[in-house]
Amino acid sequence: MKVLVPATTTNLGAGFDVFGLALDLFNEVEFSFDTKETTIESTGKYASDLKDHNLFFEVFRFFERKTGYRVPPVRIKQTCNIPVSSGLGSSAAVIVAALHIANEGTGRNLSREDLMKLAVELEGHPDNVVPAFTGGLVVCYQNGSHLDFEKFEIDLSLTFLVPNFPVCTNEMRKILPEKVPFEDAVFNIKNSCQFLAKIAAGKIKEALKYVGDRLHQNYRINGNKKMKEFVEAILSKNPEYWFVSGSGPSVCSNINDFEGIPYLKDVLKLRVNNRGMIVSE
């Protein structure tokens, strides 16, 4: 059996912890239960960037605690096509794949909605894991255990600049302030609402004019020396739009001149994936 889980980008600037977008770049995970011991093998472009496979085991144990079902031994072969610790949902892809595997191995007792709620609880926020399941642009709402979202299918291509250094999402969240100026909150409300209005009206490219942010990006950029140099070099190219992908360090921008950008490792031109996770026997 095989499951393909897409990369995701979140926030899209103004929509902090609300907007999530699935992309047409997938981690491929083949798995089989004809084994006596759980083994995990990773190949692919970004396999060497993985420190360990502990997240798979963490998800399996979490699944067992929450459901009471025991995940049987499984042989896993993962092809890592999503950059690791780069703000493109590599951890979310593992969580979604591992929950699917756990559910398959225990009799398919949980629905997609059940698995999604477990993924959100484990990840801590919905904007990566939900679009990984559903595809498309997802507008998420979470209040305690209550989860709601709406999906928009859109036709859009985006360019992501991926640097050669990772960042830790948890560390980047610690950088964020407990309070922000009132005018900064209003700025983000205006932009996120106008972004969504353009999407709803089918004016997809116009929506990208409204990705401006004052709630999180500057704090994260200024809190990491390499990331600051990386973003400043991108901004020197005068892009029409830009935003930090997730908590970074990757940046989405429409620039075409990449010369002189420090730390640049990859340029990924990706389309929106409206299908989400793909499962095959």
pLDDT in tens, 67-114: 999 999 999 999 999 999 999 999 999 999 999 999 999 999 999 999
Q: What is the pLDDT of residue 145?
A: 85
Is 22 annotated for ligand binding? no
Is 135 annotated for ligand binding? no
Is 88 annotated for ligand binding? yes
Is 136 annotated for ligand binding? no
Percentage with pLDDT > 70 across the chain: 100
3-state SS string for the chain: CEEEEEEEEECCCCCCCCEEEEEEEEEEEEEECCCCCCEEEEECCCHHHCCCCHHHHHHHHHHHHHHCCCCCCCEEEEECCCCCCCCCCHHHHHHHHHHHHHHHHCCCCCCHHHHHHHHHHHHCCCCCHHHHHHCCEEEEEEECCEEEEEEECCCCEEEEEEECCCCCHHHHHHHCCCCCCHHHHHHHHHHHHHHHHHHHCCCHHHHHHHCCCCCCHHHHHHCCHHHHHHHHHHHCCCCCCEEECCCCCCEEECCCCCCCCCCEEEEEEEEECCCCCEEEC
Is 83 annotated for ligand binding? yes
Is 131 annotated for ligand binding? no
Q: What is the pLDDT of residue 126?
A: 94
- 173 has a pLDDT exceeding 90: no
- 52 has a pLDDT exceeding 80: no
The pLDDT confidence band at residue 187, using thresholds 50, 70 and 90, is very high
Is 87 annotated for ligand binding? yes
Is 32 annotated for ligand binding? no
The pLDDT confidence band at residue 144, using thresholds 50, 70 and 90, is confident
Is 13 annotated for ligand binding? no
Is 96 annotated for ligand binding? no
Average model confidence (pLDDT) across the chain: 96
pTM of the model: 0.95
Percentage with pLDDT > 90 across the chain: 92
Report pLDDT digits (tens) over 220-257: 999 999 999 999 999 999 999 999 999 999 999 999 99
**Domains, the chain, with CATH or none:** 1-151+274-278 (3.30.230.10), 156-269 (3.30.70.890)
Is 91 annotated for ligand binding? yes
